[in-house]
Homo-oligomer: A and B are copies of this chain.
Amino acid sequence: MKLKVYVDRMSQPSRAILIFCKVNRIDFEEVQINIAKGQHLSPEFKKINPMRQVPAIADGKFTLFESHAVLVYLACAFPGVADHWYPADLFRRAKINSVLDWHHSNLRRGAATYVLNTVLAPVLGLASNPQAAAEAEKILSSSLSKIESIWLKGNGKFLLGGFQPSIADLSLVCEIMQLELLDENDRSRILGPHKKVLEWIENTKTATRPHFEEVHQILYRAKTRFQEQRSMGSNNTTGSSNRMTLPSKM
């Protein structure tokens, strides 16, 4: 039975898993779980992931969720996956696990909370929390500095001095990519000072092309839509509604 990958392409860990499967030519079926339509709350999807979150997978009767656990499983279960994605070597694997674990409470927390409390809240009809956004920006900027000074030091193109990407590169770069949705001033202020991070993003795109850009198309379309709506909002002086609409594919 073909591997099923349950995703919403608007979710950054969903995109990481899709890119991984495509780059590694894993034979899979993409099952779209549209969060905006509440499909993650259906009884059918609860059987796949009782936490009701994407991404998740079903490999025959075996189900799994949490994107890092999924990436590790896919790298180990599918023999065609090159070793550099999740090296068999105990020490290199341990270092990658360390990056992935660190990611949760640092880069992911900062990026996701910042995007939610700036551009996403109005789209979702929620109140933005400027204090939460300010705190998240601190975590995010600190995380980017640490990535640069600790894991991107040296001459390697990827984290931990690697010359080929690992699942940690893919997961972290996909997380950062959601900053595309921000107002350009905000995005430049946050990412601009981190030249090595910007190079690393490009290296990861290049190493996973054309799949990286293809899977991120939905994000680029959302970015354009958000920009247009911000522009309309700033020209709208009637104050009738500040709520923006979701892109049709969200």
Q: State the A residues within 8 Å of B (CB).
A: 50-51, 62, 64-69, 72-73, 76-77, 90-91, 94-95, 97-98, 100-102, 104-105, 108-109, 146, 149-150
Contact = CB atoms under 8 A, between A and B. Distances in A.
A150 B90 CA distance: 31
Given A62-B91, A102-B51, A97 B109 contact: no
Given A62-B91, A108-B105, A109-B105, A50 B98 contact: no
Nearest to A102: B66
B150 A64 contact: no
A73 B108 CA distance: 23
Contacts of A91: 62
A65 B102 CA distance: 9
B104 A90 contact: no
A76 B72 CA distance: 15
> How many protomers of this protein does the assembly include?
2
A215 B175 CA distance: 37
Which secondary structure dominates chain A's binding surface?
helix
A66 B151 CA distance: 14
B51 A95 contact: no
B69 A97 contact: yes
A102 B100 CA distance: 12
Given A77-B90, A105-B105, A68 B97 contact: yes
Nearest to A73: B94
Contacts of A104: 101, 104-105
A102 B69 CA distance: 9
B72 A94 contact: yes
Contacts of A68: 97, 101
Given A90-B77, A102-B51, A66 B150 contact: no
A106 to B, nearest CB: 9
Nearest to A77: B90
A150 B51 contact: yes
A101 B68 CA distance: 7
Given A51-B146, A68-B101, 10 more contacts: A51-B150, A66-B98, A69-B98, A72-B94, A72-B97, A76-B90, A77-B90, A100-B101, A104-B105, A105-B108
